[in-house]
Amino acid sequence: MIRFNLSPFNFGKYIKSWEYVDDIEPIKDLDVGAKAIIAPEYLGPDVSIRGGYIPCPPEFGSIDFVIRHGEPNQDITLLARVYQARNVDGLGAEEIRKYRTEYKAVSGQPEGTFFILLQNVDVTKGFVTVEVENTEGGEVLIDCFALMRKFYIY
Amino acid sequence: MSCRIVEEISVVPVIAPVAQTAAGNTTGAYLACPPKLGTIDFVVRSGALAAGKKLTVEVYQAKDTSGTDAAELTAYETVFTAPEGGATDNSVIVSVDNADVTLGYVTVKVTNDAASAVPLDAFALIRKEYLE
């Protein structure tokens, strides 16, 4: 592989030198963290849990919500909704309808994971969260968190 | 960054969401740790813990997915203690450098000293291009 060293003048437009590189060091730091939304807890039939609101300014780009579940005691259907609000207390909360996601799991399935890939430009009020509802009978343990660039986690 | 995080990073299950028994422990699934992996971030999430109760996360390496010749990497042991008033939503993150995983496979073992069952789960964040 060839590595090009750019000249610092003219904003790096010119190649100052080049060299063969035998190997590339793996990227050590993942630069991604997990921010808690809903703590691991049981979700019974017709019960919904709305997580804590997190700030979501436009410069974040994207937030990937991850919902994990354990083994349900019978077939279940989880309905996940994304809500936006004006502050961490949920002032003026309203659903961002396009992100509503339905997920089904069957009895005996040891665990599962599904995602909601949010575009921050859709969050016009500044704060966002996820609500998960068990719309079909049974009970299941769920967990929800957001994957974000570490730089933005605070 | 123009690509989505889940296009770069895989969320690999280690411990399925489960209600861990009071004062119990759970060892997760062993994950392959190839030489170029760089870093694995193990994330342990738990529900409510009473004040002063602890969640201990230990990292173990082994020769295969069955845990043959398992040995603890003691330098990574991490203890989370719930503060005064308790904690309702807890995350413990342990970043493991693959250079320390000489046997080839790695996992976490989670132990609690709570008086009642603790709902918890664990997963690993790994760069996709290094997954086998």
Look at A41 and B41 and tell me if their CB atoms are within 8 Å. Answer: no
Look at A40 and B17 and tell me if their CB atoms are within 8 Å. Answer: yes
% of chain B residues with pLDDT over 70: 95
ipTM of the complex: 0.89
Supply the pTM of this predicted model: 0.84
Segment A94-123, tens digit of pLDDT:
999 999 999 999 999 999 999 999 988 899
Read out DSSP for B9-47? EEEEEEEEEEEEPTT-EEE---EE--TT--EEEEEEEE-
A68 near A80, Cβ under 8 Å?
no
Reduce the DSSP state of residue A38 to 3 states and report it: strand
Segment A23-60, tens digit of pLDDT:
554 445 667 888 899 999 999 999 999 999 999 877 77
Two structure tokens written together for A84: 């936006």
Size of interface A-B (CB pairs under 8 A): 107
- Which are the contacts of B3, defined by CB distance < 8 A and separation ≥ 6? none
Task: Using the predicted structure, report yes or no on whether residue A125 has a pLDDT greater than 60.
Answer: yes
Look at B18 and A69 and tell me if their CB atoms are within 8 Å. Answer: no
Query: Which residue of chain A has the CA closest to B89?
Result: A39
pLDDT of residue A128: 95
Nearest Cα neighbor of B5 from A45, A132, A65, A8 is A65
Segment A57-101, tens digit of pLDDT:
777 777 899 999 999 999 999 999 999 999 999 999 999 999 999
Q: How far is A99 from chain B (nearest CA, A)?
A: 16
Look at A149 and B39 and tell me if their CB atoms are within 8 Å. Answer: no
